[in-house]
């Protein structure tokens, strides 16, 4: 197991390197540059600004500079935010995105898991149809519809919760509830469906029948055996999904005016803020790798048939 971890860790480094390289060149393949503005600046100034970011050099030299900075732990300055470094922007935005994303995922795992299991156990009952109906509805409504509706109803009409923003930069439960719900709804729906499907699969399989035959109680069979096997596909899904949620989502951050990195990142990509985009890609990639590793370890713990070589 320990050897497996070390090996996965060693593999992660070249993986990250490939990702950085791929992202770097893809980003540069996009037309335009961060300094193509609506109002042009004098050519001499533009050249100077580009030179200060090494944009005047051949692309492989720029790549070299970027890697050199990375090795020193320097993500570079933002090309758009003149007073800020990429590290500053991530430091400010990540806690907000991660709190919202993490809470949403937690909520989704709890509720999705419970709903899915109930639906599976009571397959084809009224409860099952209700859960699946809710789930399909949850998946088919985009967050840019649920977000404004929640904000309007609870913020504007009822005045129960803030319709957006933070409390002077502080995250409070009230300020995060609506964005977390908006983000969690489709995840609850997806997880409920995945849980139900794999649970049904497991309940039909012969090792559960065996367990029943052995005279184990319903409870032990469900929680001791069925659940354990049923969460496997869930683990595959939840690992990367969590990483994606932690790094923020444009829609929720925009609709609720939250200072996360998801919006920063999308706007960065649209405006070619190369360094900001690269910074978030690296962060995202590192999280994904970590969560995938976690998912695989969980897989091993839950399923004794998986062997770590």
Partner 1 sequence: MSAMTGNNAPLEAQMKKALEVEGRSLWQDARARLFRNKAAVASMVLLGIIVFLAVFGPMFWVHDYDTVYKDRVALPPSWENWHFLGTDVQGRDLFVRLLMGLRVSLAVGLVATTVSLVIGVLWGATAGYIGGRLDEVMMRIVDVLYAMPFIFFVIILMVIFRDATAGKPALNILLIFVAIGAVEWLTMARIVRGQTITLKGREFIEAAEAAGVRPLKIVVRHIVPNVLGPVVVYVTLTIPAVILAESFLSFIGLGVQEPLTSLGKLINDGAKNMETMPWTLFVPGITMMVTLFCFNFIGDGLRDAIDPKDR
Partner 2 sequence: MSFGKKISMAVGLIAALAISACSPSTPDDPNLKILHRGNSGEPLSLDPHLASGTWENNIIGDMFIGLFTENAAGQPIPGMAKTWTTSEDSLTWEFELIDAKWSDGVPVKASDFVFGLRRILNPETQAQYASLVYPIKNAAAVNAGKMPGSELGVTALGEKKLRIELEYPAPYLTGLLTHYTTYAVPEHVVKEFGSKWIQPENIQVNGPYKLDSWRTNDFVHVVRNPLFYDNENVCLDEIYFYSITDNNTAERQVREGRLDVNNDFPGRKMDFLNKELPGYVRVHPYLGTTYFSFNTTKAPFDDKRVRVALSMALDRDHITKSVIKSGYIPAYSLVPPGIGNYPKGAISNWASLSFEDRKAKAKELLIEAGYGPDNPLQFEYTHRSTGDNPAAAPSVQSDWNSIAPWVNVTIAQIETQILYANLRSGDFTISDGGWVADFNDASNFLYLMETRSGSMNYSRYSNPEYDTIMDAANREMDMVKRADMMMRAEQMMLDDAPVVPMWYLVNRALVNPKVTGWVDNIVDLHRSRYLCITE
Does 255 bind partner 2 (CB under 8 A)? Our answer is yes
Write the CB contacts of 284 (distance below 8 Å, at least 6 apart in sequence).
Answer: 243, 244, 247
Residue 37 or 306: the one with the smaller Cβ distance to partner 2 is: 37
Q: How far is the CB of 145 from partner 1 (least distance, A)?
A: 5
Q: What is the DSSP letter of 53?
A: T
Residue 69 or 259: the one with the smaller Cβ distance to partner 2 is: 259
Stretch that binds partner 1, among 48-56, 67-75, 174-182, 196-204 (CB under 8 A): 196-204
Where in 5-64 is the site for partner 1 (CB under 8 A)?
Answer: 11, 15-16, 18-19, 22-23, 26-27, 29-32
Print the binding letters for residues 203-232 with partner 1: x by CB under 8 A, - otherwise. Answer: -xxx--xx------------------x--x
Question: Residue 140: is it exposed, middle or buried by C-beta count within 10 angstroms (0-12/13-18/19+)?
Answer: exposed
- Indicate which of partner 1, partner 2, none lies near residue 131 (CB less than 5 to 8 Å, by partner kind): none
Does 138 bind partner 2 (CB under 8 A)? Our answer is no
Where in 177-216 is the site for partner 2 (CB under 8 A)?
Answer: 177
Does 92 bind partner 2 (CB under 8 A)? Our answer is yes
**Residues that bind partner 2 in the complex, under the rule CB under 8 A:** 31-32, 36-42, 44-45, 48-49, 52, 80-84, 88-89, 92-93, 110-111, 114, 117-118, 121, 148, 151-152, 155-156, 159-170, 172-175, 177, 219, 254-260, 263-264, 270-272
**Residues that bind partner 1 in the complex, under the rule CB under 8 A:** 11, 15-16, 18-19, 22-23, 26-27, 29-32, 132-133, 136-137, 139-142, 144-145, 148-149, 152, 190, 193-194, 197-198, 201, 204-206, 209-210, 229, 232-233, 235-237, 240, 244, 247, 250-251, 265-266, 269-270, 277, 280-281, 284-285, 288-289, 292, 299, 303, 305-306, 309
């Amino acid at each position: 197991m320990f050897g497996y971890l070390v090996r996965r860790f060693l593999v992660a480094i070249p993986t990250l390197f490939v990702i950085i390289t791929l992202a770097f060149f893809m980003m540069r393949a996009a037309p335009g540059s961060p300094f193509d503005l609506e109002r042009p600046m004098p050519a001499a100034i533009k050249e100077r600004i580009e030179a200060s970011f090494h944009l005047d050099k051949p692309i492989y030299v720029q790549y070299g500079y970027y890697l050199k900075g990375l090795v020193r732990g320097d993500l570079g300055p933002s090309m758009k935010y003149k007073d800020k470094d990429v590290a500053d922007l991530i430091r400010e935005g990540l806690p907000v995105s991660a709190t919202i994303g993490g809470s949403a995922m937690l909520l989704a795992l709890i509720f999705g898991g419970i709903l899915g299991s109930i639906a599976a156990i009571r397959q084809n009952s009224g409860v099952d149809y209700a859960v699946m109906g809710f789930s399909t509805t949850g998946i088919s409504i985009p967050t840019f519809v649920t977000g404004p509706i929640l904000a309007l109803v609870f913020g504007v009409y009822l005045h129960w919760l803030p319709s957006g923003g933070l409390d002077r930069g502080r995250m409070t439960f009230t300020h995060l509830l609506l964005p977390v719900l908006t983000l969690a709804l489709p995840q609850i729906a997806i997880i409920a469906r995945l849980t139900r499907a794999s649970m049904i699969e497991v309940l039909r399989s012969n090792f559960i029948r065996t367990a029943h035959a052995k005279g184990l109680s319903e409870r032990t069979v469900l929680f001791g055996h069925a659940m354990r096997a049923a969460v496997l596909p869930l683990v595959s899904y939840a690992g990367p999904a969590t990483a994606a949620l932690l790094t923020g989502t444009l829609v929720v951050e925009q609709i609720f005016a939250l200072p996360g990195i998801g919006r920063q990142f999308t706007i960065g990509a649209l405006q070619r803020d190369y360094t900001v985009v690269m910074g978030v890609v690296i962060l995202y990639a590192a999280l994904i790798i970590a969560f995938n590793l976690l998912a695989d370890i969980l897989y091993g713990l839950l399923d004794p048939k998986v062997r770590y070589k």
